[in-house]
Structure 1
Amino acid sequence: MSISPRTISHCSEVVPISPNQLPDLTLEPETVYSIPFGDIDSLAKDIVQRLQVLDFPIQGKCVEALLFSCETKGVHMQKRAGTNTSRPYVVEIPGGAVEQEDQTLQLASLRELLEESGISILGARPHIDGYFYFWNHVGSTTGSNKWLIKFVFGYAISGRDVWLFNDRRWDSDLKMPKGTSSILFDPEEVSDVLSITEDGLKEMILWDPNNRKIAEDTKLLVIQRQTIAMLNHIFCSLPYLEGPQKDINRICYFEKASSSGIRLKMGEDSIPIARLQREGLEGIVERVTRRNFGVHLTSP
């Protein structure tokens, strides 16, 4: 299925609105609107009601969670959720339908979706605004002439504006987007959460800022040299941290579990930083909290 709204090349061409403007705003089909996140569930209901007042026979809504490259204007990955007829104001995101309030959950779901496709997200940040548009879905299997609302949650790979595109053709057999699907990262950014198995680590390729073509193959993981060294060190340390290891492929990553600090996560268990320090891994802890994971993890 091909969805072709009005071509939008940059955020400056998106129409910004506020929730307070909705009651008096004349919404135009195939125009992308930018609106603060807030309560997405209530916002969806307000938009539906406004379109119904304008005599648009809205029969459902669709949600996309997308990542955009600010440098190539290419879509990183997308997940198009189906319309929800039983609970019309529940927003669907990758990982399931939720009554949406938590941007962290959105980002975590996007990370999981990409990792399932063999892509490691390094440094994506949620944009402060959501985007939506609606279009006439002609030839739909659930109705020959259906108006649908599409909410787009944009995530900027760098600190620059999010880019929007209209070339989002979906391959129903492969469940993957067709066309350009580049993965590019800022070489100074790494993930605040990185899940990888030891076997998966062996399949990774190193991030090379001088050869960005290596990132275009979405079947390969791309990671910084410092990060892969850190993960190798962690896996080598696991037998000493947890005794004889039966499963060498246990998922291991660092996370900020609470205000008490960062913990090493292994399977269902997590190990506090204090224990890592007792095991002589202060160097890893320092690099993780400062260089690899950013200042925000140690800031109040």
Structure 2
Amino acid sequence: MMDYLAAMKVFVRSAELGTFTRAAEEAGIKVSTVSRYITFLEEDLGAALFNRSTRHLHLTEMGRVFYEKALSLLDDIEQIRSLVPTLNAMPQGLLRIQLPGAFARKHVVGVLGEFLAQHPMIRVEAILADAERDIIEGGVDVALKIGALADSQLVARKIAPNHYCCCVSPSFRDVNGRPETPQALAHRPCLPLGLQSGGTWAFKAAEGWEKIKVSGPLRSDDLECLRAAAIGASGYAVLPRWLVNDDLQGGLLENVLADYEFSSGGEADEGIWIVYPPKKIVPSKVRAFISFFENRYRAATEW
């Protein structure tokens, strides 16, 4: 189908310039192309737009009505085109963000006020979800994800590491002792992540990642629950540094195997990521969110 908008533009300029030839020269197209555009419009409308003479074009009554409406519509379109870049340059509107619950409560929600103060025309809708969700289907603008990313078409940017450590309360360590190697944890009370019967932790050895089976008096699918249980002297826990770093510095927990890199699963957790749907032009509100949290957490070396 012929480009209706292009045909309208050619029609308007033909009416204003009075000839197909001048309209063609201005548009950089052939006179025959101009003629086809006008014929296309007339056939679509079922009415003649011009009375043609050898030297000049004259609008018919229908042509004058169509000219006024077309001119108004083209002006509106031009205003919209000039407005959109301005709007996109200024971060504004509703920003729907999806966040892992524990990380959001610890490191995101408390600083959203600072982000919103920098961008007062943005409104945030925060969706806390630890389970994997389709952010495109859910209408989410941008999300934070932790760990190894599943294959997807999402754009991903790493903003911080995601290191784990084996920690325990000092009082529990005094009673149960300090393990000298990760393998010793298999024979001590541990707090596995997940609700399946067998807990698996992994640590990095010289030959690569090795797995150990652990068990204990409590298991949970919630990191904050395991943190509280570890502080409450329930057992050894492998937890992310972003969650327990303040507890380690404050003495509530102790890193008992500091020379080893741990994972709560069977492989290394590869980072903390910002992900968002692929678009040719990323909305300014999403760019603002990415910039804010990249700057805030890229230097989080203590994690």
TM-score normalised by L of structure 1: 0.20
Higher strand share: 1
Higher helix share: 2
